[in-house]
């Protein structure tokens, strides 16, 4: 799909936007077990209650005791027996669930998805961005020699040069890492107040360079475009695409699903550029609009000929109005004879 996009001039590759989202895994929190003993969560709570001398015979009593505890679960201690690679995390709607994290690299000029990486649900954005940037850079580098039908090279000859991301990706290590990769960063910076840069000259240079870029007009424009270029793809992939909850298990299978959804989004982008419609529903609407346009033309032709008929033979308008377009040609031929 990326080759076809490059051949159609829909992939530039110079500026890449990065963003991620978490998706609920096909595993239930009720079924998690301890990694060391294999003990279920309810059995673990009963053991805690007995150790503290609490009479918690029913499930409701165990839940009341559980609500008062802090730091109840962690991925180091608990896992799902059905999907051991899914990780416990808090979803965007506030629920705690087993989940995976999908991270997209999107061309900020065209909206094409350049690369997709898959991680455990609890992986931090700052820990995954470098892998996604490298995957995107490799994909763009492989497409530099692709030509369009007109013989032009639309993919940026220097490969990927800029990365755009939200404030969740901002850190000293990320800024330094992108600088070492030879990539200019446009990452929104959270308000951290005064900072101590003693002994951190490399981090200071990278962070200040990023701050200078995001405060410029180009940086502000790229940040505004994130919602259109990146978030819209997430909506197509996971909302209307039906992947807001996963139905496969294992990070390899989940990654395959993400790749198929990304390829479908890129296919829709290609179809929109070729035919003006990227989905069957949009194509149906365009066909209906075309049919109504044809009917309007036929109606205009009918009105013209009825008016011409009336003026030529001085027929009353009420008489002419009784004629229909279907029988008009035959009647005109008979009258001429």
pLDDT at 292: 67
Residue 259 in this model has a pLDDT that exceeds 60: yes
Q: Which of 115-119, 149-153, 268-272, 277-281: highest mean pLDDT?
A: 115-119
Is pLDDT larger for residue 262 or for residue 290? 262
Is pLDDT larger for residue 329 or for residue 70? 70
Q: Looking at residues 165-179, what average pLDDT do you find?
A: 93
CATH class of 2-27+83-278: alpha beta
pTM above 0.85, yes or no: no
- Tokens of residue 244, six digits: 């807001």
Q: Give the confidence band of 57 by pLDDT, cuts at 50, 70, 90.
A: low
Compute the half-sphere exposure of residue 335: CA atoms within 13 Å on the CB side of its CA: 11
23/243 Cα distance (integer angstroms): 8
Low-confidence winner among 151-155, 246-250, 293-297 (lowest mean pLDDT): 293-297
Percent of the chain topping pLDDT 70: 80
User: What would the pLDDT profile of 75-102 be if each residue is shown by its tens digit?
Assistant: 888 899 999 999 999 888 888 899 999 9
The alpha carbon torsion through 169, 171, 175, 177 (nearest 10 deg) reads -90
Contact 165, 17 (CB under 8 A): yes
- Tokens of residue 281, six digits: 């529903």
Closest CA to 163 of 124, 203, 209: 209
User: What would the pLDDT profile of 198-253 be if each residue is shown by its tens digit?
Assistant: 999 999 999 999 999 999 999 999 999 988 888 888 888 887 777 777 889 999 99
DSSP string covering 129-145, please? HHHHHHHHHHHHHTTTT
229: left (phi over 0), alpha (psi -120 to 50) or beta: alpha
Residue 135 in this model has a pLDDT that exceeds 90: yes
Residue 46 in this model has a pLDDT that exceeds 90: no
83/99 Cα distance (integer angstroms): 10
Count of residues in the chain:
337
Tokens 């899914």 map to which residue? Answer: 86
Point out which residues pair with 105 in neighbouring strands.
18, 115
pLDDT at 288: 62
Residue 181 in this model has a pLDDT that exceeds 60: yes
pLDDT at 58: 64
Q: Looking at residues 261-283, what average pLDDT do you find?
A: 77
Q: How do 15-24 and 96-107 pair as beta strands? A: antiparallel
Task: Characterize 159-178 residue by residue with b for buried, 16 or more Cβ atoms within 10 angstroms of its Cβ, and e for exposed.
Answer: bbebbbbbebbbbbebbbbb
pLDDT at 300: 78
Q: Looking at residues 48-65, what average pLDDT do you find?
A: 69
SS3 84: coil
Strands (DSSP E) contained in the chain are 15-24, 33-34, 78-79, 87-90, 96-107, 113-120, 162-165, 184-187
Residue 336 in this model has a pLDDT that exceeds 90: no
- Tokens of residue 67, six digits: 């609500």
pLDDT at 318: 47
């Amino acid at each position: 799909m990326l080759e076809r996009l490059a051949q159609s001039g829909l992939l530039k590759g110079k500026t890449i936007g990065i963003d991620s989202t978490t998706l609920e895994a096909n595993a239930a929190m009720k079924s998690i077990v301890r990694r060391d003993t294999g003990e279920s969560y309810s059995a673990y709570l009963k053991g805690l209650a007995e150790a503290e001398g609490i009479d918690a015979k029913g499930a409701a009593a165990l839940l009341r005791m559980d609500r008062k505890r802090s730091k109840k679960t962690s991925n180091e201690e608990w896992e799902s027996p059905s999907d051991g690679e899914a990780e416990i995390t808090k979803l965007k709607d506030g629920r705690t669930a087993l989940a995976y994290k999908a991270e997209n690299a999107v061309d900020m000029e065209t909206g094409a998805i350049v690369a997709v990486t898959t991680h455990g649900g609890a992986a931090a954005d700052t820990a995954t961005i470098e892998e996604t940037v490298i995957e995107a850079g490799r994909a763009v580098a492989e497409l530099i020699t692709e030509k369009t039908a007109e013989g032009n090279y639309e993919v940026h000859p220097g490969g990927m040069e800029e990365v755009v991301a939200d404030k969740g990706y901002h850190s000293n290590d990320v800024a330094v890492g992108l600088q070492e990769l030879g990539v200019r960063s446009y990452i929104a910076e959270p308000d951290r107040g005064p900072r101590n840069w003693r002994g951190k000259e490399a981090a200071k240079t990278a962070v200040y360079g990023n701050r200078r870029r995001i405060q410029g007009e180009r940086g502000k424009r790229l940040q505004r475009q994130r919602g259109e270029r990146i978030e819209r793809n997430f909506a197509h992939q996971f909302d209307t695409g039906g992947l807001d909850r996963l139905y496969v298990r294992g990070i390899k299978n989940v990654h395959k699903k993400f790749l198929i959804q990304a390829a479908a989004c890129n296919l829709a982008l290609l179809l929109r550029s070729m035919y003006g419609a990227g989905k069957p529903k949009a194509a149906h609407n365009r066909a209906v609009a075309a049919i109504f346009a044809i009917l309007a033309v036929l109606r205009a032709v009918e009105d013209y000929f009825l008016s011409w008929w009336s003026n030529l033979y001085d027929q009353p308008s009420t008489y002419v109005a009784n004629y229909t377009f279907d029988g008009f040609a035959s009647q005109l031929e008979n009258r001429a004879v």
